[in-house]
Amino acid sequence: MRTSLNLVAAVGLALGAVFGLAGTLVAQPNLRNISWGIDALGLVMATALLTLKFFGEGSDFVAAGFLVFAIGEAVVLSGTAAGLVGSVPAFAAGTGLWATSLLLISIPGEFPILVRLVGIASSILFAITSARIFWGEQLLPTSSPLPFFAYPFLVFTFIGWIWTLLRET
């Protein structure tokens, strides 16, 4: 049972990584929206499963982190169909929740130290992004340097989580 949970969660994380980056790089709004929709659905599924996994293992902080990530991803998903400008409020809330969740997941020792350090770096970058939007700056989800250069850190964190999950199977 645990093996299938790990595999399904790994697939969801991989979908999030691939379609999240694809959505950021494509110029067509309809392709961006569908890519980010697949990305978000895969990540919500994966992080919901990982919440159950780590809660069952007694790692409450990591479980809470994955739960907060699922909530943040659902908030981001809620704005996706509104387009880049329309999605900014949901994106600000979602990146704030991502930042919080990445700290909850990365501070305890459940994942290898390199994965945790990349997760903490990702958390800081998304906290800055969220704070800037809440401060009144008009940052789009594709703005550069942030959040554009925060996404690779998030994807590398996902890769570390996937690697850890698959190593357990």
14-60 pLDDT, tens digit per residue, is 999 999 999 999 999 999 999 999 999 999 999 999 999 999 999 99
Give the residue among 127, 126, 107 at the shortest CA–CA distance from 117.
107
What's the pLDDT at 1? 58
Give me the count of residues in the chain: 169
Does 9 score more than 80 pLDDT? Answer: yes
Cα 84 from Cα 143, distance rounded (Å): 10
What's the pLDDT at 156? 98
Could you tell me the two tokens for 158?
């996902």
Give the residue among 2, 1, 22, 7 at the shortest CA–CA distance from 155.
22
Give the residue among 11, 40, 17, 7 at the shortest CA–CA distance from 156.
17
What's the pLDDT at 169? 78
Could you tell me the two tokens for 91?
């994106």
What's the pLDDT at 2? 76
pLDDT, one tens digit per residue, over 119-159 is 999 999 999 999 999 999 999 999 999 999 999 999 999 99
Query: Which of the 8 DSSP states describes residue 142?
Result: T
Residue ranges per structural domain of the chain: 2-168
